[in-house]
Amino acid sequence: MTKLPLALIIDDEPDILQLLGITLTRMGIDTLKAENLKQAYQHLNNNQFDICLTDMRLPDGDGLELVEYIQKNYPELPVALITAHGNMEIAIDAMKAGAFDFLSKPVDLSALRNLISSALKLNSPKQKLAKGSQKSKKLLIGDTPVMLQLKQTILKLSRSQAPVFINGESGTGKELVAKLIHYKGPRSECPFIPVNCGAIPSELMESEFFGHKKGSFTGSIQDKKGLFQLADGGTLFLDEIAELPLNMQVKLLRAIQEKSVRPVGGDSEIAVNVRILSASHNNLLELVENNEFRQDLFYRINVIELTVPPLRERVDDIPKLADYLMNQLSVLHGVENTYLSAAAIQRLKSYPFPGNIRELENILERAITLCLGEEIQVDDLNLGQFGNKTENLTTVSEDIPDQYHDAPTRDNLSLDDYLEKIESIEIINALKQSNGNKTQAAKLLGISFRAMRYKLKKLKIE
Ligand SMILES: Nc1ncnc2c1ncn2[C@@H]1O[C@H](COP(=O)(O)OP(=O)(O)OP(=O)(O)O)[C@@H](O)[C@H]1O
Ligand SMILES: [Mg+2]
């Protein structure tokens, strides 16, 4: 016979202890009971538990102490706190201290069931296997101290149900971090649903999040599930959360607190079991201070805050990252032998990357398409003078060759847009001269056919 999972339950009220015990037994779980911290520590010492549920107030201490004790001595053991109804602050403190999740009194049975089943998945052999094979094939590259720290935090957070707010400049890898938290955790078999809060038109928002009933508004010809329901059992990743309009923030807060949603035009609530991760490049606290983001929602989603550092704070990771991205991109473009010259790597290391890893990806993709041989040179990176400490812009602008003096005026265009304008004119001229023959036009311009094709696509030239 296989061994049943074992739970440790701690509460100073014998009635509650008994009730929890019966409920868990019905779920096929063995229990040991304790009425105070001292008994709990003894049990922990003598047994190997799969989950621990503890009340907050105990005769010889509180549940938070137990959470901390378990974090320190049995970090693999998921512990959940049972709090008085509405006492969010304690629940949040507990999760910050490493609690797996919390339940409020009176304990709702379906919430208890969800909690137990997630907790038991944490240390199941299947979950351990899943960690190895990882569904999200993407890796978080980097072994500078800040990245090692980040990886460790991700692992820790993946074992908890706490809402995490991921902050960081654009392109730093916020979505990748959210995915890893999901795929390394007990929800990995259920969906990870990312949603860009800035991309949903405000009039559709409620129905997108919570679903709608057939006929609830013009055009709603059938029932539709919302994002919360689609993410049931899994994770909802609210990207660019600062973009949510205030009225939607209220509704979102309600759904998160009640763990249920009401579809537009529906007359009943539907329970959902969703972990909320969110991200923004904005400083949310500043938005709260300016009344642009609701404080109550902020505290609810920001139980744990994680900052993904900008690439310029992990310069030593650039060679590895570039190598990893090059491999992926060259497979994508069918040019598997392309590589970066040592000088090109050096050049990348001195560039400030305002757009972070996403920008590095773009730079490499462009270089792969533009380079003529297999080795990518500094010039193929097309980084201009930015961040190049050895030259400065004024001397360069004096060196601009004469033929460009007849070029179109820059007006209010950014440098990039201006250069694209010049490129477009030159390419169109070359195409005219060669009667639309791309190979010949490329020759006239001294670029490869591959580069020509790339530029035509990028500049949207028909
Ligand atoms: N450490 C890393 N290792 C490997 N790839 C990475 C790393 N960080 C980011 N990437 C890749 O860089 C790209 C940008 O990452 P991601 O979309 O997660 O950033 P983001 O912070 O969400 O950006 P944005 O602010 O633009 O939404 C993705 O293709 C991602 O896979
Ligand atoms: Mg993103």
- Residue 162: half-sphere exposure toward Cβ, Cα within 13 Å: 34
- Is residue 288 classed as helix, strand or coil in its secondary structure? helix
Which of 138, 148, 169, 176 to mutate for ligand 1's pocket (most ligand atoms within 8 Å of CB)?
176
Residue 81 is predicted with a pLDDT of: 93
Residue 137 is predicted with a pLDDT of: 66
Mean model confidence pLDDT for the chain: 86
Distance CA 269, CA 67 (A): 33
Taken in order of first residue, the domains within the chain and their CATH numbers are 6-123 (3.40.50.2300), 157-215+222-307 (3.40.50.300), 311-395 (1.10.8.60), 406-462 (1.10.10.60)
Q: Which ligand is nearest to the CA of 140?
A: 1
pLDDT in tens, 413-458: 777 788 888 888 888 888 888 878 888 888 888 887 777 888 888 8
Assess whether the C-beta atom of 361 lies below 6 angstroms from ligand 1: yes
Q: Which ligand is nearest to the CA of 179?
A: 1
Distance CA 37, CA 94 (A): 16
Position 318, amino acid: I
What letter does residue 374 receive in the DSSP assignment?
Answer: S
Distance CA 388, CA 173 (A): 25
Which of 356, 357, 364 to mutate for ligand 1's pocket (most ligand atoms within 8 Å of CB)?
357
pLDDT in tens, 26-44: 999 999 999 999 999 999 9
Q: Whose CA is nearest to atom 29 of ligand 1?
A: 358
How far apart are the CA of 170 and the centre of ligand 2, in A? 7
Which of 139, 358, 364 to mutate for ligand 1's pocket (most ligand atoms within 8 Å of CB)?
358
Q: Which residues of 199-227 are buried (b: 16+ CB within 10 A; e: fewer)?
A: ebeeeebbbbbbbbbeebeeeeeeebebb
Q: Which alpha helices (DSSP H) does 259-349 contain, by range?
A: 284-289, 295-301, 318-333, 342-349
pLDDT in tens, 108-119: 888 888 889 888
**CB-based burial label for 100 (10 Å; 0-12, 13-18, 19+):** buried
Dihedral sign, Cα of residue 407, residue 411, residue 413, residue 415: positive
Assess whether the C-beta atom of 70 lies below 6 angstroms from ligand 1: no
Distance CA 100, CA 183 (A): 16
- What is the pTM assigned to this prediction? 0.76
Residues in the chain, total: 462
- As a whole-number percent, the residues of the chain with pLDDT over 70 amount to 91
Q: Which ligand is nearest to the CA of 281?
A: 1
127 pLDDT band, cuts 50/70/90, is low
How far apart are the CA of 362 and the centre of ligand 1, in A? 12
- As a whole-number percent, the residues of the chain with pLDDT over 90 amount to 55
Largest CA distance in the chain: 91
Q: Which ligand is nearest to the CA of 314?
A: 1
Minimum-distance ligand 1 atom for the alpha carbon of 324: 4
pLDDT at 87 over 50: yes
Distance CA 462, CA 455 (A): 11
Report the alpha-carbon angle 276-197-86, nearest 5: 35
Assess whether the C-beta atom of 170 lies below 6 angstroms from ligand 1: yes
Q: Whose CA is nearest to atom 15 of ligand 1?
A: 173
Residue 59 is predicted with a pLDDT of: 93
pLDDT in tens, 348-396: 999 999 999 999 999 999 999 888 888 999 988 988 755 554 433 333 3
405 pLDDT band, cuts 50/70/90, is very low
Q: For residue 370, which phi and psi values (nearest 5 degrees)?
A: -90, -25
Instruction: List, in sequence order, every residue forming a beta bridge with 55; answer none if it has no partner.
Output: 82
Distance CA 422, CA 426 (A): 6
Distance CA 315, CA 290 (A): 34
Supply the DSSP string of 115-150, one letter for each residue.
HHHHHHHHTSHHHHHHHHH-SS-------SHHHHHH
- Residue 344: half-sphere exposure toward Cβ, Cα within 13 Å: 22
